[in-house]
Amino acid sequence: MNRFQRTREDHSREIAEDYVELIEDLIRESGECRATDLAARLGVSHVTVSKRVSKLKELGLVTAQPYRSIYLTDSGRDLAHKARERHELVLEFLMALGVSREVAEVDAEGIEHHCSEETLMAMTKAAGARRTAESKRQES
């Protein structure tokens, strides 16, 4: 696969991951997720949300009926959890490099969707080594 094709696929996956993470957040916060809530949080039109929710339904990530709440399927919840874990890993890595939490949060939101498993494993290793070194310094 060439890098341009991978980037296009990453962007498509990024949108799905952002939606399922936000759906999960909204359900946790208020017990439900409506298309209007998604549109407001994402700053997009209701039509844009409707099209994306239809695509998520085709992918088996959500269940939804017109004018009703949107719910995650088991696959949708799994994707949301994996995306959240990846975000936390990238966030931790960036902060280990000395990036402020505020900036790292924003940067991680974009980077998390475009890292290969190999890169994520290297980030895990580097962040872990940095944590170990910091712990040893604090013990001294």
The model's pLDDT over 19-34, given as tens digits with 9 standing for 90+, comes to 999 999 999 999 999 9
- Domain that residue 61 falls in: 3-77
> HSE on the CB side for 46, CA within 13 Å?
6
What is the number of domains present in the chain?
A: 2
pLDDT for 8 equals 62
Q: Are strands 70-72 and 62-64 parallel, antiparallel or unpaired?
A: antiparallel
Regarding whether 130 and 68 lie in a shared domain, the answer is no
- Cα distance between residue 109 and residue 115, in whole Å: 11
Regarding whether 73 and 7 lie in a shared domain, the answer is yes
pLDDT for 39 equals 95
pLDDT for 133 equals 62
Q: Which amino acid belongs to residue 17?
A: E
CATH of the domain at 28: 1.10.10.10
pLDDT for 112 equals 86
Regarding whether 132 and 94 lie in a shared domain, the answer is yes
- Cα distance between residue 134 and residue 130, in whole Å: 6
pLDDT for 115 equals 85
- Each residue of 6-19: pLDDT tens digit? 666 656 788 899 99
The pTM (predicted TM-score) of the whole model is: 0.78
pLDDT averaged over 10-residue windows placed end to end, the chain, 140 residues: 64 85 95 94 94 95 91 96 91 90 92 87 80 66
User: Pick from 58, 77, 96: which residue ends a domain?
Assistant: 77
